[in-house]
Amino acid sequence: MSPPALEARGIAAAYGIAPGLDLAVPQGGITGLVGPNGAGKSTLLGCLAGRLRPTAGEITLFGERLDRRDRRALARTLALMPQEEPRPDGFTVRDVVELGRLPYLGRFGRLSDADREAVHAGMSLAGVEAFAARPIDSLSGGEYQRVRIARALAQEPRVLLLDEPEAHLDLGHRSALMALLARANRRRGLTVVAALHALDVAALYCDRIVLMDRGRIIASGPPAAVLTAERLGAVYGSPVWVEPGPDSRLRLGPVRTESPLEEQT
Amino acid sequence: MTDRARGPAGLAVAGLLLVAAAAWAAVVGPVSIPLDEVVRLLLGGEAHGGAVDHGAVLWAVRLPRIALGMLVGAALASGGAALQGLFRNPLADPYVLGIASGGGLGAAVVLLLAGQGQVAPGWVPPAAFAGAAVAAFAVHGLAWRAGRLPLAAVLLAGVAVGLIGSAGVSLVLVLAETRAGDIVQWLLGDLGGHGWSAVAAVALAVGPALAVLFAHTRTMDALLLGEDSAAGLGIDVTRAKWWILGAVSLAVGGAVAFCGLIGFVGLIVPHGVRILTGGRHRWLVPISAVAGAAVLVAADTVARTALPDRALPVGVVTGCIGGPFFLYLLRRSLR
């Protein structure tokens, strides 16, 4: 059996992860990391990406210790898309996507034909090729998120980690972005791990859900097993309804309450 | 013009400007040397007999001055381009690191002592370079904490060290009383009065610094995405910052040591280039270097020929011409 794409064994981190966290991300699926604000999703992603060093335990990427990997080799296997990122001044869409080839370039880095092909493939899969020459200041938030994903795809990783990529996006852009991740997952066998802001998005698009609260994993598995009304109500401190949709995916949302958050518990 | 062609076109234009500026600088001065004679002398021809030896003027006075202007202009402008990107701040220039103030203080102290006959004026460049080095180590040492080099700390330490250096210079000026004029003249920047040995010394600092900066242009692009994203692209962010800041420090130290504090070139040139050719450092840094060389050689030529009886400090010229030109570019880009 192939090793998990990512595996954390008994890790702890100073801000956000309680000691003894275990997690295995199988190869090839879309895993959604959900939980209330401050649950430790970003910290866990940072550890999985090798950006934060856990204070205990170890993390492996395809069976190999993360902290023993060379930075550039790691960047060719795993891409992280942080939540916030400044837009570089005076860059076009293509300029930004080309940065994804950095882990492959030499010191004075000229792009090879293979690099250009990867840039082209990333832009076409992300659907940003049509505005490749546009300056990035002219893009909407949703368009720029797709450009960032195109850059991550140009990096040709086997694992893509994203921190709340769909936050701040409207319904249309949100669906387009999640569909894009599903497409990359299907066509390239890309393993996707995304901290997701919106529970309904996670329920619709993820194969697996990892529910976190206060630095611990409360439950993980298929959406139907993890996203139950009782569990979500307890974790979020506010009532939630969950129903199966016509496409065998779950539909869920908040139940209107009259009382403020503190009185729910 | 397509976006792809802007970089090479910009480099070609900057190169032509540099050739034109250098040619003009070689021709004009108290002794005018016709252009065809400049070319002939450069190709190894003999000087025509006359009252003044044109060959000596060209080789011993004009050419070292032109070479020095190119080196210093290239150092300041490419350093400014690198720091504006690194700090993601359009107001950054090589002087924000406080290094130039340290150099100015070192030079001012020696000029004061030299005025009293206690040391030889030849010690000014080494003292300026030493002052710049002390300031550079102070800034980066103050900002370095727990294996990290936070840029906000570098910026604050740079401003603070720069203020200390300026205060020291002010103190020296007060102590110098009637000799303060010489010190102010030096501080405002002057490319003149140096021979080929000064050119070699500056090249020794500026050459390696430029090589390091050119080798880090892709890294600078990635750092525009923030440190997290840059690290995710396989960059050792802290190491890259050390290389870039170290290179700028070396270049500025070398430039200040012989030529004083020439302002505006490091701020305006990279800005102008950015507006005209886009923000990618792969083109921005080399084009800024060539354009900076051209601008400083031209400004220096204006400085030494504008008034009939005396030379102006080149920093005054870069400020007077560069400021309005910069405003024009800014106005254009805001439209």
Chain A positions with Cβ closer than 8 Å to B: 49, 51, 71-76, 79-82, 84-86, 88-92, 94-95, 99-100, 102-103, 105, 107-109, 133, 155
User: What is the Cα–Cα distance from B88 to B151, expressed in whole angstroms?
Assistant: 10
More confident site: B231 or B45? B231
Reported as a single tens digit per residue, the pLDDT across B205-262 is 999 999 999 999 999 999 999 998 999 999 999 999 999 999 999 999 999 999 998 9
Question: What interface predicted TM-score (ipTM) does this complex get?
Answer: 0.88
Neighboring chain A residues of B229 at a CB cutoff of 8 Å = 80-82, 85
SS (H, E, C) B269-317: HHHHHHHHHCCCHHHHHHHHHHHHHHHHHHHHHHHHHCCCCCCCCHHHH
- Cross-chain residue pair B225–A95, CB shorter than 8 Å: no
Does domain B3-334 match CATH 3.40.50.720?
A: no
Neighboring chain A residues of B288 at a CB cutoff of 8 Å = none
| pLDDT tier for residue B193 given thresholds of 50, 70 and 90 | confident
Query: What mean pLDDT is predicted for residues A4-23?
Result: 92
Reported as a single tens digit per residue, the pLDDT across A48-77 is 999 899 999 999 999 999 988 899 999 999
* Nearest chain B Cα distance for residue A198, angstroms: 23
What is the number of residues in chain A? 265
Mean pLDDT in chain A? 92
Q: Nearest residue of B to residue A111 by CA position?
A: B218
Q: Nearest residue of A to residue B224 by CA position?
A: A88
Has residue A264 got a pLDDT over 60? no
**Helices marked H in chain B:** 3-27, 35-42, 54-56, 63-86, 99-115, 124-143, 151-176, 180-187, 196-215, 217-223, 227-232, 237-259, 265-277, 281-305, 314-334
Neighboring chain A residues of B278 at a CB cutoff of 8 Å = 90-92, 95
| pLDDT tier for residue A90 given thresholds of 50, 70 and 90 | confident
Give percent above pLDDT 90 in chain A.
81
Has residue A171 got a pLDDT over 80? yes
- Cross-chain residue pair A82–B232, CB shorter than 8 Å: yes
Has residue B21 got a pLDDT over 50? yes
Query: What mean pLDDT is predicted for residues B49-59?
Result: 81
Residue B182's pLDDT is 86
Residue B264's pLDDT is 87
Query: What mean pLDDT is predicted for residues A81-86?
Result: 90
Residue A265's pLDDT is 47
Reported as a single tens digit per residue, the pLDDT across B280-332 is 999 999 999 999 999 999 999 999 998 888 888 898 898 888 788 778 877 87
Has residue A11 got a pLDDT over 60? yes
Give percent above pLDDT 70 in chain A.
96
Query: What mean pLDDT is predicted for residues B95-120?
Result: 90
- Cross-chain residue pair A107–B215, CB shorter than 8 Å: yes
| pLDDT tier for residue B49 given thresholds of 50, 70 and 90 | low
